[in-house]
Amino acid sequence: MEAIILSKEQFNQLIAKIDDIQDRLMNSNPRRTETYLNNKQFLEMLDVSLRTAQTWRDEGKISFSQVRNKIYYKLSDVEKFIQDYRNAAFAKR
């Protein structure tokens, strides 16, 4: 094993650089919090029946999480689901 000896000044400079890198990483990648909808909120938001939502889950059309008997959807997944079925406006002639 090789030992590297640093002066106090070199050690303090190294620590300062590590602290600077840590600060940059913490500030450049803010933590994003995801919003989740429960099944009732999902049904109301899309104005669909319980059976329709179940069919979409069974067919793999919408991603979901299940904790015991509760179903949850990421809002971003719901928005993507809606966007995937979006029809573009027709051009006027």
Instruction: Output phi, psi for 49, to 5 deg.
Output: -85, 165
Nearest Cα to Cα of residue 61 among 39, 40, 87, 84: 84
β-pairing, 36-38 with 65-67? unpaired
Summarize the confidence of residues 16-40 as an average pLDDT: 86
Structure tokens at 33: 């919090």
Q: Is the pLDDT of residue 32 over 80?
A: no
Q: Is the pLDDT of residue 49 over 90?
A: yes
pLDDT of residue 35: 93
DSSP reduced 3-state for 28: helix
Query: How many C-alpha atoms does 11 have within 13 Å on its Cβ side?
Result: 5
pTM, to two decimals:
0.60
Interatomic CA distance for residues 74 and 22, integer angstroms: 30
Interatomic CA distance for residues 4 and 31, integer angstroms: 37
- Percentage of the chain exceeding pLDDT 70: 95
